[in-house]
Amino acid sequence: MIDSIDLSLVNWSRGQFALTAFYHWFFVPLTLGITFIIAIMETIYVRTGDESWKKITKFWMTLFGINFAIGVATGLIMEFEFGTNWSNYSWFVGDIFGAPLAIEGIMAFFLESTFIAVMFFGWNKVSKKFHLLSTWLVAFGASLSALWILVANAWMQYPVGMQFNPDTARNEMIRFWDVLFSPVAVNKFLHTISSGYVLASVFVVGVSGWFLLRRRNILFARRSMIVASIFGILSSIHLIATGDGSTRQIARIQPMKLAAIEGLYHGQEGTGLVVFGIMVPSEEDPVNENIKDFVFRIEIPNLLSYMSYGNREAFIPGVIDLLEGSEQRGLLSAAEKIERGKYAREVLRELKEADQNNDLTRYESLKATFMDDQFKNEYFRYFGYGFIDDPDKLIPNVPLSFYSFHFMVALGFYFLLFFILTLIFVYTGSIERRKGFQRLALLTIPLAYLATMLGWTVAEMGRQPWVIQDLMPTFAAVSRLDANTVQVTFWLFLIVFTALLIAEVKIMTKQIKIGPNEGGN
């Protein structure tokens, strides 16, 4: 059945999910970051009693409200897709996904119905301190709300804390804290929310730059820039630090992803970090789209080894090493993993057969096999490889992963420099006459969105062919639907989400043009 799956169905299903995820993510990071910036501004207002800070706070709060309202519930579409388009996957992940998503839903409901209401309706109705507390709770609550979906995503990259039940074909959560506090989940959460904080800081500096270009609301723009650039510098440093943490994790957990994002085919000791490179089809294998050579690259010697293992001479396996394996390096070949995965699939098939034939002795024996630690560690952990017929299919899209990763990293460092310059220019009083920088600030807003989308591209494309690392390939996760139906919903979503995006941009630009003096809620 899996062998005969329609690839156009898989591709359309993936395209549809990517489309909805990207559009959903368009709204999320601004909410994550701008709430903290607003909370800081309101804190200054409460501490100083300066009414101009209240105006500043209310202006950014209005923009947050627009973004929140247009974006709210866009994530629900992905939950629809799990049940319709990804039924094998949804069933297989069992309650690992259900529990975090339920917590997220409950948290979001209470957050939205109480503290956001106080934020918008509570001016002059509740005390200043209670209002401020509500604003901070919205900021922390928004980030905490993101925690749960990121925990679920981290589990897909690094499945832990579960036991596979061969009777139901579901993974059952047996250690909640292992799932919640897996190193991948913690790092992913911190890295992702930091990216939201950076994006929101860029947004605030960029919009403030627009006011300076128009020579309007100068004090408002300068003050907004100070808060956002300081918050942006701290967030950028945290973003870079957690990005470094991701490298160490990927080296151990997803070495193929690391090899792909670095364009590393042949591993070596003392591997350098490619800072910049241009890929061309390989002379060795020009037909294979995933095998490339560098026509040009700038590399920092030994840095990737050091970043990955804290050792300048550490061996980093390349794509070819991971496929061919190496006994000396303790790397299993792809062929061996495929054999082990096929064996695990066969044991599952035989168990089901024994169950259906009421062969209790055989059933109990096979069930015991699934509970056996050696089977779990040496066979079931490669369950997904059993679906793979050609080792080349284990290679993710290398050029896409490589360019997405390097452009994202470059932008991350650019944002840090951008915030530092903003702060310097504001403090030296030169920001108002720097028209070029004000335009640059405005142009940096789409770059921040691009960077965060590239981050997800690296995370999700770099781990292909897996939907659950080593356990389930993406093509085995889809429902057997008609590809034409998926195409129809793809275009439907494109229309609906694009309309929402246009509404967001139009309402927000109108509100920005009105400026901080009018406010509105």
Partner 1 sequence: MGNNILVRIFNFYYQGFRNMTVGKKLWLIIFIKIFIFFFIIKLLFFPDFLKTKFRTDRERGNYVIEQLTK
Question: In the 8-state DSSP scheme, what is residue 331?
Answer: B
Please, what is the minimum distance in Å from the beta carbon of residue 266 to partner 1?
35
Q: Which is nearer to partner 1, 90 or 192 (CB)?
A: 90
Q: Which is nearer to partner 1, 368 or 514 (CB)?
A: 514
Q: Which is nearer to partner 1, 349 or 433 (CB)?
A: 349
Contact criterion met (CB below 8 Å) for 149 and 100: yes
Of the candidates 7, 24, 19, the residue with the CA atom closest to the CA atom of residue 473:
7
Q: Which two tokens stand for residue 414?
A: 């650019």
Cα separations in angstroms, 336 against 340, 352, 371: 6, 25, 22
Of the candidates 28, 27, 53, the residue with the CA atom closest to the CA atom of residue 40:
53
Of the candidates 269, 225, 281, 496, the residue with the CA atom closest to the CA atom of residue 398:
281
Please, what is the minimum distance in Å from the beta carbon of residue 352 to partner 1?
5
Question: In one letter, which amino acid is 179?
Answer: V
Nearest-10 crossing angle of helices 7-48, 483-514: 20
- The three-state secondary structure class of 51 is helix
Q: Please, which residues have CB within 8 angstroms of residue 74's CB and are 6 or more apart in sequence?
A: 20, 23, 24, 27, 497, 500
Report d(CA 295, CA 267) in Å as an integer: 18
Please, what is the minimum distance in Å from the beta carbon of residue 389 to partner 1?
14
Q: Which is nearer to partner 1, 145 or 229 (CB)?
A: 145
Please, what is the minimum distance in Å from the beta carbon of residue 513 to partner 1?
13
Please, what is the minimum distance in Å from the beta carbon of residue 125 to partner 1?
6
List interacting residues with partner 1 (CB under 8 A).
Answer: 1-3, 62, 65-66, 69-70, 72-73, 76-77, 80-81, 83-85, 87-88, 90-92, 117, 120-122, 125, 166-170, 345-346, 348-349, 352, 476, 479-481, 485, 488-489, 492, 496, 500, 503, 507, 511, 520-521
Of the candidates 426, 519, 436, 419, the residue with the CA atom closest to the CA atom of residue 203:
419
Is the preceding peptide bond at 516 cis, omega within 30 degrees of 0? no
Please, what is the minimum distance in Å from the beta carbon of residue 201 to partner 1?
23
Please, what is the minimum distance in Å from the beta carbon of residue 486 to partner 1?
9
Please, what is the minimum distance in Å from the beta carbon of residue 1 to partner 1?
4
Please, what is the minimum distance in Å from the beta carbon of residue 267 to partner 1?
32
Report d(CA 136, CA 255) in Å as an integer: 39
Contact criterion met (CB below 8 Å) for 81 and 477: no
Report d(CA 155, CA 162) in Å as an integer: 10
Angle (CA) 248 460 254, round 5°:
35
- CA 37 remoteness from chain centre: 22
Q: Which is nearer to partner 1, 329 or 480 (CB)?
A: 480
Please, what is the minimum distance in Å from the beta carbon of residue 282 to partner 1?
35
Q: Which is nearer to partner 1, 427 or 491 (CB)?
A: 491
Q: Which is nearer to partner 1, 68 or 155 (CB)?
A: 68
Q: Which is nearer to partner 1, 197 or 370 (CB)?
A: 370
Contact criterion met (CB below 8 Å) for 423 and 229: yes
Q: Which is nearer to partner 1, 62 or 369 (CB)?
A: 62
Q: Which is nearer to partner 1, 347 or 454 (CB)?
A: 347
Report d(CA 90, CA 297) in Å as an integer: 42
